[in-house]
Amino acid sequence: MTGAAEPGLADLAPDQRLRRLELTVTRRLDGLLHGRYRGLLPGPGSEAAGSREYRPGEDEVRRMDWAVTARTTVPHVREVDADRELTTWLLVDASPSMEYGTSTLDKRELAVAAVAAIGFLTAGVGNRLGAQVLTPDGLRRFPARSGRTHLLGLLRALLGAPRTGDGLDSDGAGPRDATPGLAEGLDGLQRVATRRGLVVIVSDFLDELPDDPDAAPPPWAAALRRLAVRHQVLAVEVTDPRELELPDVGLVTLVDPESGRHREVWTGDPGLRERYARAAAEQRDQVRRTLRRAGATHLALCTDRDWCADVVRYVHEQRRLATVPAAARGGVA
């Protein structure tokens, strides 16, 4: 129907939302993440498959298995199996701060869209997808499995995950206090993601972020760094424009979704709006620096932007960087 605005993700029934997501992904993003996982698992393979005697002139010295060589006094090299299958592990933040949104989607729904894009486009023969979801009811786990049915079940669970107002005590206690942190979720992934693969964290990364940008990094930074040693890590940062600047709408009551604290703010003060915007920009810069130092690649999504276009740009940039020699890539910001 011409002239009518398309329904937003929040306006559709769950099954319709899933079908719409799948159509959006397959139409606009299909093929971008299929095939070669360049930059993910370099070389002929990474999974250990035993050792054999060293063949001079054929084997690389860097593949020497020094432990076996020392035991047998005969030079041996490690054998590896080429990785033909991709296992993707997701950590999805469904904490109260992800329920905020002033556009067509809130941050929680944008997170589901990001998961759908990753799930549909990394689906393939033998590829598996597993997830852990941080909800007000605790950490929910989904084992790594393959197939469209498994992915759709995960998306349904994300869409139906409990929100702050579901079953909370009047003082805000209860499920809010049970929401696990990013550090706990990342430690859980470390235990289950034993085979090298892709780890994707979808969050606003506000969990335990210090107020002082020069303070010690948040607790989840160390856990993220440990994951990046073995896996390719993608951090999908989800934001809303109203988190970055305040509009001039007079007196408003701001609520911290994590703690339930209230504060009245007079947004007609231009100095206040300027300080708020400056503090918000410093906070997002702090998140970006922390992710970069942890060794994760960064994809920023915002509820008022075309998330599909942002994903396309990210994939194209990663493909471009994969063609750059390692020495030259060291100088790329």
pLDDT values of the chain reduced to their tens digit, one per residue, 333 residues:
444 444 444 444 556 766 777 777 766 665 554 444 443 333 444 445 567 888 887 777 878 888 888 888 889 888 654 455 788 999 999 988 898 888 888 899 899 999 988 887 777 777 899 999 998 888 899 999 988 889 888 988 888 877 776 544 434 444 445 678 899 999 999 999 988 889 999 999 988 888 777 778 899 999 999 999 889 899 999 999 988 898 888 888 888 777 778 889 898 999 999 999 999 999 999 999 999 999 999 999 999 998 888 888 887 787 777 665 544 555 444
Q: Which segments within 225-313 are labelled E, that is strand?
A: 232-239, 251-255, 262-266, 297-302
Q: Side-chain half-sphere of 321: how many Cα atoms within 13 Å?
A: 15
The predicted pLDDT at position 240 comes to 94
| 3-state SS class at 80 | strand
The predicted pLDDT at position 300 comes to 95
Are the C-beta atoms of residues 134 and 180 closer than 8 Å to each other? yes
CATH class of 10-34+84-329: alpha beta
Q: Give domain limits for the chain.
A: 10-34+84-329, 47-81
- Quick one: tokens of 112? 């589901």
CA distance 28 to 308: 7
Angle at 77 between CA 75 and CA 78, to 5 degrees: 150
CA distance 83 to 46: 7
The predicted pLDDT at position 255 comes to 80
